[in-house]
Amino acid sequence: MRKLTPFAAILAAMMPFAGQAQEKVDAAMMQKIRQEGLENSKVMEIAFNLTDKSGNRLTASPGFMRAANYAKKTLEGWGVKNATIDPWGEFGKGWELEKSYVALTAPYYKPLPAYVKAWTAGTKGLKSAEIVLVKPLKDSTSIEAYRGQLKNKLIIMEPAVMPVYNISFKADARRYEETELQKMADEKPVTPGAGGRPGGGRFGNFNQDSVRAAQRALVLFKEMAIKDGAVGILSNGTARSHDGTVFAQGGGVYKKGDPENILDIVLGIEDFNTILRLTKAGAPVKLDVDVKTKFQTQDLTGYNVIAEIPGTDPALKDEVVMLGAHLDSWQTATGATDNASGSSVMMEAMRILKTLGVQPRRTIRIALWSGEEQGLLGSRGYVKKTFADPATMTTTPAHEKFSSYFNIDNGTGKIRGIYLQGNEQCRDIFQAWLAPFNDLGAKTVTISNTGGTDHQSFDAVGLPGFQFIQDPIEYDSRNHHSNMDVYDHLIEADLKQISTIVAAFVYNAAQRDQKLPRKEMPKPRTQTGF
């Protein structure tokens, strides 16, 4: 059998889809994008600058602004136009950790790897603090037993169930099996209103009144602990913590006028359980703690990074194709897989297109969002001011001129396909666009929705927004919001593949004669009770 050249192989792969969906794909350009993206990539250099050089990128922190300014300057250096650090609305206080030292000093000395939750206070110098055990709080009356007992103490909250360390019998990292991908591809559209959870859903058997009472008691307890002069609280970094991996996020409110949150220190499950067992056994337990945090209150605005390659077609240049990822991270590490990886590949996709001298018919616009970790705030703010208000579904003229948005936010794993987000009309289009990259493992198109990231902000106002399917690697088991989310956990070959496919998708969306098909316009949230 005659071996096909890469160019001929792409043509052969595309032929079935060209006949089936009549979707035009420029095979020569796909080959150029492949070559530039896979052979001349700068994606790891970009990732280094967003992680190791910028530090953590908590929204409104100095690290975020370092990364945002790097992204803006770099995009401008490639010739991308209209680069700006764009305000989307009020976010709240900035926060950074300036110093952290935590060590067990009694019954013996042991340095502790510990991580301070964002938006919590410091200690105002070195404190030597005894541990006090607080039993599970059931309601507001249960806090009274501790009133006046917390001054200069470190609090450890006894969980209802002792945290259990789970031995890892499986590898942390994995790729999707072909059977899993086929199951995704075979998914059928869900009828609106179907698929409800009988019996009240997965929380149907929970006593929600009891849960709310306990949550309220915890809030009141923390307020009392601050007034009583407690040093802080020790927390366990969730059941996912294992083998030195610690998961730590926010420690409370951060809006203008919100009071300072009590210092909250997260330990790995092994160290937390050690201290808990010692304390329950009646052993005197002490820790030295020296934490310095800083709040920024001068500028409460949230910012995104926006830049574009202007369209050139007189009839289409005002229409927009967008690609994006969230630039912000949590504070525990440098947010490499969540989501410097996504921001890096989106920037690299823009570099590929500029390097190839692409003159798109539609404008191609990149967005690097902030506030995603606090609830998609940056993308929601941008969509509201630019396209539509989801509360009323009042649209701007830009809403009609919008083609599509493509998002990456599931770690370092390569693209295996794309979620249609319920938009069946795009299936044949995306299959044609993936065809040149089937040999790179990307071929699955699923009708399924996926959530938890910024494409939802577009989908919520009736704009085509899509997230790619990615191999999970160790995203949930090791990286997501943990101290292990660092540069060394990135996979270079996978990021090259992602950048290449994203560049091809936005190129195709910018060049096609029509905008991508849309689903039915959602109802205003005020009418749906959201």
pLDDT at 239: 67
Distance CA 123, CA 126 (A): 7
pLDDT at 4 over 50: no
Residue 20: band (very low, low, confident or very high) from pLDDT cuts 50, 70, 90:
very low
How many Cβ atoms sit within 10 Å of the Cβ of residue 506? 29
Contact of 234 with 116, CB cutoff 8 Å = no
User: What was the pLDDT predicted at 418?
Assistant: 98
Strands 94-106 and 286-296: antiparallel
Based on its alpha-carbon atoms, the radius of gyration of the chain, rounded to whole angstroms, reads 25
Mean pLDDT of the chain, nearest integer: 91
Higher pLDDT, 244 or 354: 354
With H, G, I as helix, E, B as strand and everything else as coil, classify residue 353: helix
Helix (H) or strand (E) holding 446, with range, is strand 444-446
Q: How far is CA 452 from the centre of its chain?
A: 8
Query: What pLDDT does residue 189 have?
Result: 85
> What is the distance between the terminal CA atoms of the chain, rounded to a whole angstrom?
60
Answer whether 8-91+300-518 and 95-167+207-296 agree in fold.
no
What pLDDT shows up at residue 529? 42
N residues, the chain: 530
Question: Quick check: 16 pLDDT over 50?
Answer: no
Cα dihedral 487, 493, 498, 500 sign: positive
Taking 50 as the threshold, does the pLDDT of residue 164 lie above it?
yes
**pLDDT, position 242:** 82
Share of the chain above pLDDT 90, in %: 82
- Measure the CA angle with vertex 442, ends 440 and 444; round to 5°: 155
Q: Where do the domains of the chain lie?
A: 8-91+300-518, 95-167+207-296
Question: CA 431, CA 395: separation in Å to the nearest integer?
Answer: 31
Report which of residues 10 and 431 the model is more confident about: 431
Burial of 454 (0-12, 13-18, 19+ CB in 10 A): buried
H or E, element range at 407: strand 402-407
What token pair was written down for 398?
Answer: 């830009």
Residue scoring higher pLDDT (348 or 4): 348
Superfamily assignment of 8-91+300-518 in CATH? Answer: Zn peptidases (3.40.630.10)
Who has greater pLDDT, 140 or 472? 472
Distances from the Cα of 405 to the Cα of 99, 337, 379, 449, 467, angstroms: 40, 20, 11, 15, 9
> At 466, is the pLDDT very low, low, confident or very high (cuts 50, 70, 90)?
very high
pLDDT at 201: 36
Q: pLDDT tens-digit profile of 189-225?
A: 875 543 333 333 333 444 677 778 888 999 999 999 9
User: What is the reported pLDDT for 288?
Assistant: 98
Contacts of 198 (CB under 8 A, 6+ apart): 204
Please state the rounded mean pLDDT for residues 349-374: 98
Beta strands (DSSP E) in 463-525 are 465-470
**Which pLDDT band holds residue 126 (cuts at 50, 70, 90)?**
very high
User: Residue 237: its pLDDT value, please?
Assistant: 66
DSSP state of 483: T
State yes or no: pLDDT of 449 exceeds 80.
Answer: yes
The arithmetic mean of pLDDT across residues 146-161, rounded, is 92
Structure tokens at 341: 């990886």
Instruction: Evaluate if residue 129 carries a pLDDT over 70.
Output: yes
Q: What is the Cα–Cα distance from 525 to 151, expressed in whole angstroms?
A: 47
Structure tokens at 429: 């289009």
**pLDDT tier for residue 26 given thresholds of 50, 70 and 90:** very high
| CA angle, residues 373, 252, 257, in degrees to nearest 5 | 105
Q: Check pLDDT > 80 for residue 231.
A: yes
Q: Quickly state the pLDDT bin for 138 (edges 50, 70, 90).
A: confident
Can you name the residues that pair with 415 across neighbouring β-strands? 470
φ/ψ of residue 352, rounded to 5? -60, -50
Contacts of 219 (CB under 8 A, 6+ apart): none
Q: Which CATH class is domain 95-167+207-296?
A: alpha beta
